[in-house]
Chain A
Amino acid sequence: MGMESTLIRFILRHSLRQQIGVVILTLVSFPFLYYSLDLPKTIINQAIGGKNLPKEVFGFPVDQVSYLMVLSGLFLLLVFVNGGFKYAINVYKGRLGERMLRRFRYELYVRILRFPLGHFRRVSQGELIPMITAEVEPLGGFIGDAIAQPIFQGGTLLTIVVFMFIQDPILGAAAISLYPIQGYIIPRLQRKVNRLGKERVKAVRKLAEQIGESVSGVQEIRANDNARWQLARFTAQLGVIYDIRFEIFKRKFFVKFLNNFINQLTPFFFYAIGGYLVIQGDLSFGALVAVLAAYKDLASPWKELLDYYQQKEDNRIKYEQIVEQFAPEGMLDEAMIAAEAETVAKLEGNLQTSGLTLIEEDGKAILESVSLTLPLDGLKLAVVGPEGQGKDQLAMILARLILPSSGQIQVGGRDLLVLPVSVTGRRLAYVGPNAYVFSSSLRDNLLFGVMHRPVVGVDYGGDDAAKAARRRREAELAGNSVDDPNADWTDRNEVGASDTAGLLQRLCRLLERVDLETDVYHLGLRGTVDPARRPDIAECLLDARRSLRERLATADLAHLVEAFDRGAYNSNASLAENLVFGTPIGHAFDLEKLTEHPYVIQVLDRAGLTDMLIDTGRKVAETMVELFADLPPDNPFFEQFSFISADDLPEFQALLGRVGRETPSAMKPDDRIRLLALPFKLINARHRLSLIDEALQHRIVEARGIFASNLPEDLKRGIEFFDPERYNAAASLQDNVLFGKLAYGQAQASVRVGQVVTEVLDRMGLRTIVLEVGLDFAVGIGGSRLTQAQRQKLAVARALLRRPDLLILNQSISALDGAAQGKLLTQVLEETDGRAVIWVLSRAQWAKKFQRVIVVKGGRVAEQGSYAELDRPGSALAELLKQD
């Protein structure tokens, strides 16, 4: 289905029936509207004035008052009916417009997915995004009015004109005498506005592009102190837009001015010609007044029609300009991306290319008549060659990501260039050097390659089912996709797993094969698990918690972890953590600002701790002032070590002077609050200030009990208490197993404990569970929370997962260091045993691991054969090896 080239065709094709509906609804509303205008006359003349009072209504006798009431009631009814019509028409139009807008956006998006890849070198994100988002927005509003508005307003106009002609043909002619002039001048003026409108759209797109570029290149801008130039460029572009907009503004208002002027001019004819006719006795005075009154009514529909015309022009241009941008040469055939194939035939036989040639737009030949015959069965082919001489493009052509300028590719006798994406995208895999990682979880990114269509639908129950059905129907009406993104899209057959456990196992194995397993394991340790959703995992981890405790004891490492014990003060935790004794959820109990919480103050008062802690706070302040007073305020020690910032230090000095040796109860409330907050950051084992002695510790543990047992219901969601028998949903998996604090001041505590944790989890067979949690890790926008090497490994794993018949890797692990690349290469070749691999290598030396090697140089295949055959003095391969 191609996209309609003009807006009106688009409207007629997709909404003709609804448009007719709007027109009919509008026409049906007319009589009611007319009657509601007519009724007041009857009320005033008959009911109130008492003239021609009917004796009865619908067979019931009436007097004047009851007749007035009947007519007034009728009037009220008409008000409701008219309002109802207006509402219904607007809703109908709105829905029509929204559906059409939705359809249009969808079609544009489909087109982006069909763009030839080369087009993305010319068109930027910054241009495409505003087109689909902001630029098309007004179209929705216009489409609802597209047909009904001119009919409605035109009809009204015509009625009034006919009325005037009936009153007097000459006056009628006078009333519309200037319309031809308006009809001639205004479109001409409008045309200029339209041209400017086009320019404006282009200028705004350019602005968007520039913003997009600044966002992508912000590091360079800052690193090169280039902001000023960027600002100058931006200003220049704003200037262009300003000029265009101002010009449009002036012209638009000139059109308005001209219209108003001409409209004011017509009465001149009425007075002059009409007056003359009345004096001559050819026209009655009453008729002139009636025509004048009618002419007043004429102004409104005429204005509406002109507005409509301007709007229509605006939207027409917008539509055409957008559609033009979404129709590049060489778009993928729609059938190629939409085709549905249940079972996709295996790619086998020979991969044969003949005369493959690729010529750039500037006429430069990148590849010249490349002809190859490669038996796919277990093919392991290395493609090497100097940078920028065709090896990249060869790989991309074989993956059908770019189309050759001429030449053929056949696989087992089938033409690869016309196979639908459902074949190439499943049987063939390609991984380039900058494979994109989507902003979602690691798991989703891995499964991305096997999500071709929904496999198992979601079983919505009750209300949700109705909601889902309604959504689906709406999507259908707007010509959108009816697939449910919440369905399970994972094609297990393609992965070679029969169930969820098998799938997980396969994912874990692949992570291992691409050397990503340890990384994901550590991400898993830092991840969280919802015990309500996965009680099995939570249970296992609680077991691990107990095992770890035992293991640490037997390995004589128990002193490296101080476990949480409800009855004991934890000297490796801060005072705040000791009091709350749990993981805060959300911001209700921010450990940094604990003393700002009224409930905390209440607990401290009840435990009789407030004054003791204020006194401790005073000691903390004294120590900080003593330690840091001599340091310049910009010294980083403040930030790293001090409890009081450099800015606040003088205030605390003054405060200490003020309170002197006073008891806390004698201090001013403000001073009390400031001092009270200080000791909450104290960690005994770390700070070694000996300010929280055993007596105080004991009191804090008591307060901990008060805090927990009196916690109001609404605050209970703000904290998850430490409980040795319960899984803590708010804490990381690692913290749950550890269930305590790493001891300060023990060399290598974190590494040594980490080793034991891993050992315990592995021995209990929980490694897979940790990996499962790690797979939930959200990778960030464009995979920004992963390293470049991790992203590349992820992309390779993604391609391996679906076991393609032909895997094409194009320098896809180039971010790894040399040794790691060599290791990964071997592992991937092992994993793809029996299936075909074509690997474009950045270093020629690795070609040794492949059965076959081709050297691409200057756009041609310079040599091909086994590594041993090609590695001889003077060969192209030997030269590449020298440069490695």
Chain B
Amino acid sequence: MSLAEEVALLKSIPLFSKIEPSKLKLLAFTSERLAFDPDQQLFRQGDPGDAAYIVIDGEVSISIDAPNAPTGSIEVAKLGRGAIVGEIAILCDVPRTATVTARGKTVTLRISKDLFFRLIAEFPQIAVEVMRELAHRLENTNLQLREARAAKPH
């Protein structure tokens, strides 16, 4: 996949959808494209976080450790093309909160922590988009919490 195609893909991700193509091209150029073989881990729960990954092709499985489960972990989500994973660890400086594994041949764009913060510092549009995305997620979580509370019998 060439840089131009990567830029088109980034454009389709909500986080980057409002950013000018030339900035996305810089993002694509300065980040590393990384391919994973089936069952290879992108990162493991508890590792220090050094990068976020954008799935360009393929599918990844998100799982969290569960000592009581038969496999030792529980899969909590599957994410595909366009998904961003691993951003929490680099934003909050906490260890990886989940393990991410490639399900088949998977291609990602690896954005190092350093690069991520530089982009935010250099291009306010990206910072705004990141905030918007996070606020959106928070809103979603709040919604889920309210629903859960409402559903909970008194």
- B36 contacts A688, CB within 8 Å? no
Establish whether residues B35 and A745, one from each chain, have CB atoms under 8 Å apart when the complex forms: yes
B40 touching A627 by the CB < 8 A rule? no
Are A626 and B25 in contact, with the CB atoms below 8 A? yes
Looking at A85-93, A634-642, A753-761, the stretch in contact with chain B turns out to be: A634-642
Q: Is B140 an interface residue (CB 8 A)?
A: no
Instruction: Say yes or no for A868: interface residue by CB 8 A criterion.
Output: no
A640 touches B35 (CB 8 A): no
Size of interface on A: residues with Cβ below 8 Å to B: 19
Partner of A627, one of B26, B36, B118: B26
Do B118 and A690 touch across chains, with their CB atoms under 8 A apart?
A: no
Residues of B near A689 (CB, < 8 A) are: 2-3, 29
Known pairs A626-B22, A635-B122, A637-B118; A690 contacts B3 (CB<8 A): yes
- Give residues 1-28 of B contacting A (CB, 8 Å): 1-4, 6, 22, 25-26, 28
- Asked if B29 and A641 sit within 8 Å, CB to CB, the answer is yes
Q: Is B42 an interface residue when CB atoms closer than 8 A count as contact?
A: yes
| Closest A residue to B108 using CB positions | A747
**Is A690 a contact partner of B29 (Cβ separation < 8 A)?**
no
Query: In whole angstroms, what is the CA distance A385 to B26 when docked?
Result: 61
Of residues 612 through 630 on chain A, the ones whose CB sits less than 8 Å from some CB of chain B are: 626-628, 630
* Residue in A631, A687, A747, A748 whose CB lies within 8 Å of B122: A631
CB-nearest residue of chain B relative to A640?
Answer: B30
Which residues on A sit within 8 Å (CB–CB) of B138? none
Do B30 and A748 touch across chains, with their CB atoms under 8 A apart?
no
Q: How far is the CB of A204 from the nearest CB of chain B, in Å? A: 50
Tell me, yes or no, whether B81 is within 8 Å of chain A by CB: no
B32 close to A745 (CB less than 8 A): yes
Are B35 and A688 in contact, CB atoms less than 8 angstroms apart? no
Q: How does the 8 Å CB contact mask read for B102-126 relative to A, with 1 for contact and 0 for none?
A: 0000010000000000100010000
The chain B residue sitting closest to A624, CB to CB, is: B29
Check if A746 is an interface residue, CB within 8 A of chain B.
yes
Cα A152 to Cα B137 with chains together (Å): 104
Quick one: closest A residue to B109, CB to CB?
A745
Please name all residues of chain B whose beta carbon is closer than 8 Å to the beta carbon of A636 when the two chains form the complex: 118
B109 to chain A, nearest CB (A): 10
**A747 contacts which of B4, B6, B36 (Cβ < 8 Å)?**
B36
Q: B2 near A627 (CB under 8 angstroms)?
A: no
B1's partner among A627, A631, A688 (CB-CB below 8 A) is A688
Measured in the bound complex, the distance between the Cα atoms of B43 and A748 in whole Å is 11
Considering the chains assembled together, what is the distance between the CA atoms of A509 and B106 in angstroms? 43
Q: Tell yes or no: B44 within 8 A of A by CB.
A: no
B110 to chain A, nearest CB (A): 9
Within 8 A of B (CB), among A475-518: none
Query: Which residues of chain A from 250 to 287 have any CB-CB distance to chain B below 8 Å in the complex?
Result: none
User: CA separation between A766 and B26, bound complex, in Å?
Assistant: 45
Q: Are A690 and B22 in contact (CB under 8 A)?
A: no
A745 x B30 contact (CB < 8 A): no
A560 — nearest CB in chain B belongs to which residue? B37
Name the B residues within 8 Å of A746 (CB-CB).
34-35
Contact with B along A692-710 (1 / 0, CB 8 A): 0000000000000000000
**Contact, CB under 8 Å: B34 / A745:** yes
**Docked complex Cα distance between A878 and B140 (Å):** 59
A687 touches B29 (CB 8 A): yes
CA distance A745 to B35 in the complex (A): 6
Q: Which residues of B contact A630 (CB under 8 A)?
A: 22
- B28 contact set on A, CB distance < 8 A: 688
Question: A688–B2 contact, CB under 8 A?
Answer: yes
Which residues on A sit within 8 Å (CB–CB) of B4?
A: 690
B30 touches A641 (CB 8 A): yes
Chain A residue nearest to B110 (CB atoms) is A747
Give, as a whole number of angstroms, the nearest-CB distance from B54 to chain A. 14
Min distance, Cβ A726 to any Cβ of chain B, angstroms? 32
Which residue from chain A places its CB closest to the CB of B119 in the assembled complex?
A637
Contact count band on B: 20 to 34
Contact with B along A712-745 (1 / 0, CB 8 A): 0000000000000000000000000000000011
Residues of B within 8 A of A690 (CB): 2-4
The docked-state distance in angstroms from the alpha carbon of A640 to that of B33 is: 16
Name the B residues within 8 Å of A640 (CB-CB): 30
Given contacts A627-B22, A688-B2, contact A748 B29 (CB under 8 A): no
**CB neighbors of A among B74-126 (8 A):** 107, 118, 122
Closest chain-B Cβ to A689's Cβ sits at a distance in Å of 6
In the complex, which residues 41-92 of chain B have their Cβ closer than 8 Å to any Cβ of chain A?
42
Once the chains bind, are A688 and B30 in contact (CB under 8 Å)? no
Chain B: which residue is nearest A743 at the CB level?
B35
> How many angstroms from the CA of A786 to the CA of B10 in the assembled complex?
44
Minimum C-beta distance from A339 to chain B (A): 59
Q: How distant is B29 from chain A, measured CB to nearest CB, in Å?
A: 6
With the chains together, A641 CA to B118 CA distance in Å? 14
The minimal Cβ–Cβ distance linking A290 to chain B, given in whole angstroms, is: 95
Contact across chains for A627 and B25 when beta carbons are under 8 A apart: yes
How far, in Å, is B71 (CB) from chain A's closest CB? 22
Report B-chain residues with C-beta under 8 Å of the C-beta of A747.
Answer: 34-37, 40, 42
Q: Which residues of B contact A635 (CB under 8 A)?
A: 118, 122
Closest to B31 in A: A641
Cα distance, A690 to B122, chains bound together (Å): 27
Q: Which residue of B lies closest to A632 (CB)?
A: B122
Chain A nearest CB, measured from B105 CB (Å)? 10
Instruction: Specify the chain A residue showing the minimal Cβ separation from B32.
Output: A745
Bound Cα distance from A627 to B25, whole angstroms: 7
Provide the residues of chain A in CB contact with B22, threshold 8 Å: 626-627, 630
CA gap between A747 and B26 in the complex, in Å: 22
A746–B108 Cα distance when bound, in Å, is 10
With A627-B22, A631-B122, A637-B118: A745-B33 Cβ-Cβ less than 8 Å: yes
Q: From residue A571, how far is it (CB to closest CB) to chain B in Å?
A: 12
Q: Closest A-chain residue to B114, C-beta based?
A: A636
- What is the CA–CA distance of A744 and B34 in the complex, to the nearest angstrom? 8
Tell me the nearest residue of chain A to B36, going by C-beta.
A747
Interface positions of A from 275 to 306, Cβ below 8 Å from B: none
CB–CB A688/B122 < 8 A: no
- Minimum C-beta distance from B85 to chain A (A): 14
Chain A contacts of B107 at CB under 8 A? 745
B25 touches A688 (CB 8 A): no
**C-alpha gap A688/B34 in the complex (Å):** 12
Q: Which residues of B contact A627 (CB under 8 A)?
A: 22, 25-26, 29
B106 — nearest CB in chain A belongs to which residue? A747
A637's contact among B2, B30, B32, B35, by CB below 8 Å, is which?
A: B30
Q: Shortest CB–CB separation between residue A560 and chain B, in angstroms?
A: 9
The distance from the CB of A630 to the nearest CB of chain B, in whole angstroms, is 8
A residues near B37, Cβ cutoff 8 Å = 747
Smallest Cβ-Cβ distance to A628: which chain B residue: B26
Complex-state Cα separation, A767 to B83, whole angstroms: 44
Interface centre among B1, B26, B29, B30 (most CB of A within 10 A): B29
Q: How far is the CA of A690 from the CA of B30 in the complex (A)?
A: 15
Residues of A contacting B26 in the complex (Cβ-Cβ under 8 angstroms): 627-628, 637
Contacts of A641 in B (CB 8 A): 29-30
The CA of A689 and the CA of B6, in the complex, are separated in Å by 11
CB distance from B3 to the nearest CB of A (A): 5
Q: Which residues of A are found within 8 Å of B25, using beta-carbon distances? A: 626-627
B28 to chain A, nearest CB (A): 8
Chain A residues with Cβ under 8 A from B40's Cβ? 747-748
Residues on the A chain within 8 Å of B35, using CB: 745-747
Instruction: Give Cα A641 to B115, complex, Å.
Output: 12
- Bound Cα distance A630, B23 (Å): 9
Known contacts: A627-B25, A747-B40. The answer to whether A688 contacts B6 by CB under 8 A is yes
A-B pairs, 10 with minimum CB distance: A690-B2, A745-B33, A747-B36, A688-B3, A627-B26, A747-B34, A641-B30, A746-B35, A745-B35, A745-B34
Give A residues with C-beta under 8 Å from B: 626-628, 630-631, 635-637, 640-641, 687-690, 744-748
Task: Return 9 A-B CB contacts under 8 Å, by A number.
Answer: A631-B122, A637-B26, A641-B30, A687-B3, A687-B29, A688-B33, A745-B107, A746-B35, A748-B40
Can you name 7 extra interface pairs (CB under 8 A) apart from A627-B22, A637-B26? A626-B25, A636-B118, A687-B3, A688-B1, A688-B6, A690-B3, A747-B42
